[in-house]
Amino acid sequence: MKGIMIQGTASDVGKSLVVTAFCRLLANEGYAVAPFKSQNMSNNSYVTMEGKEIGRAQGAQAEAAMTEASVWMNPILLKPRSDQHAEVIQFGTSFRTLSGKDYRNSYYHMGIESIQRALSHLNETFDVIIMEGAGSPVEVNLKDRELVNMKVAEMADVPVLLVADIDRGGVFASVIGTLELLEPDERERVKGIIINKFRGDPELFEDGITWMEERTGIPVVGVLPYVEHRVEGEDSLSITDRFSSQKGMIDIAAIQLPYLSNYSDLEAFLEEDVTIRWVQTVRDLGNPDAIIIPGTKSTIRDLNWLNERGFGDYLREYEGSVIGICGGYQMLTDTLVDEYGSDTGKPGTSIEGVGMIPATTSFHSRKTTIRVSGKLHPAINVECEMEGYEIHLGETVFEHPAEKPFLQLNDGRAEGYYSQDGRVIGTYVHHLFHNDEWRTMWLNRLRTRKGLMHQKQVNRSQMKEQIYENLANQLRPHLNWELIKEFVFQRDHE
């Protein structure tokens, strides 16, 4: 198998970004390249063309590789539902919800078989596979049954590059400590080290490179600068950093729910003249121009959290724009009923919602995952094409059928809620704001209320290719790319 695995000394050191860049660099050289992460843990997911669910990062990496994302690129996705339980998504479909202990004890061999199937399929379909590890490969309490780092590199028989984040400090200790904790055969698989998020003059780090290479016997194959990129994020550890530099005349508050999911819905604002603030308390809200309640993997738990912190009372008195997406939409309804326990794990649970949308949400045992397209509902009297995807368990039913829907989907469904003045909107459709025309229209309404000039449409959808190209071009000069390719194609290094 031709390929390489990118592992890291810790979470959020830049593994996903390096894989994305490698995918684009190899695709630009004419290779059929596939990203791969055997087991991902994230509530920020991606829906494939077939309506299957995989990790968001693998979806973006497939785009960078100029290929269609598939379940073979992420056969196992874990979506946390509580501190101790996660939904297991196997080959894009919900398998069951397991505790961490049950997952380790009962799922391991099934996981190994799934990974072997996926690797075999990708090996037959693509020239090269760029694999991503998770967290650290030396979590000693988990190594005996890990499904994502050295065990998978061994299964695929590919070399490993180790990425470390110098920006967080302690880079020498993190690299040396990781290598020391690896078994001898695992350490032998590590062929190169990449230092990521370097700020300043690289010449000042040359002594550090020399020391590290002499100490480890492993070449440093890249010292990557700290780059401001626009590649969609996945790890919630980086959510604040991604939006912290976003400043503009329109102030949007997004409620940072404990089980927040698919926060990439808001990344479409990164090129706009807006401020996105993630808030966890009512006092942090201030008086924003709009409030967004995003998706969640545990709607009722997060609704309880919302009410305990006073957000429900605030929203009912708030006079600005409110948009609820997926779980956020469900919270805004009058009543939420979990008859089968599919949301809470406790059958028969019922709870009052925020009460801004006159409807009842019922949770079912079967999940909906589908890409959708359509347009704004004719009752809104505005022509605008829309597309996105749905991932949810619940169904929302209105008390009065005459209530104005938000969308008219091409499959015939009237979807979502749109209040008479358009101030309150609810929808199950993710990536709502990735529709450039709609996003511009909505933001210009906020600008009108604030007495600001309208802005022209930002074609973010057309910018995505340039984002991947810019990333590859920014990192390529700082990599020993020819040596890395020797590792990827397992050529003898002379």
Q: Decide if 384 is catalytic.
A: no
Distance (Å, whole) CA 442 – CA 409: 19
Q: Phi-psi category of 184—alpha, beta or left, where left has phi over 0 and alpha has psi -120 to 50?
A: alpha
| Size (the chain), residues | 494
- Cβ neighbors of 323 (< 8 A, separation 6 or more) are 290, 291, 292, 293, 424, 425, 426, 427, 432
Question: Between 481-488 and 15-28, two packed helices, what is the crossing angle to 10 degrees?
Answer: 90
Q: Decide if 23 is catalytic.
A: no
For the chain, the three-class secondary structure string (H helix, E strand, C coil) is CCEEEEEECCCCCCHHHHHHHHHHHHHHCCCCEEEECCEEECCCEEECCCCCEEEHHHHHHHHHCCCCCCHHHCCEEEEECCCCEEEEEECCEEEEEEEHHHHHHHHHHHHHHHHHHHHHHHHHHCCEEEEECCCCCCCCCCHHHCCCCHHHHHHHCCCEEEEEECCCCCHHHHHHHHHHHCCHHHHHHEEEEEEEEECCCHHHHHHHHHHHHHHHCCCEEEEEECCCCCCCCCCHHHHHHHHHCCCCCEEEEEECCCCEECHHHHHHHHHCCEEEEEECCHHHCCCCCEEEECEECCHHHHHHHHHHCCHHHHHHHCCCEEEEECHHHHHCEEEEEECCCCCCCCCCEEEECCCCEEEEEEEEEEEEEEEEEEEECHHHCCCCEEEEEEEEEEEEEECCCCCCCCEEECCCCEECEECCCCCEEEECCECHHHCHHHHHHHHHHHHHHCCCCCCCCCCHHHHHHHHHHHHHHHHHHHECHHHHHHHHCCCCCC
Choice among 326, 377, 431, 434 that is catalytic: 326
* Closest C-alpha among 234, 243, 225 to residue 61: 234
Choice among 430, 431, 434, 478 that is catalytic: 430
Residues with a known catalytic role:
326, 430
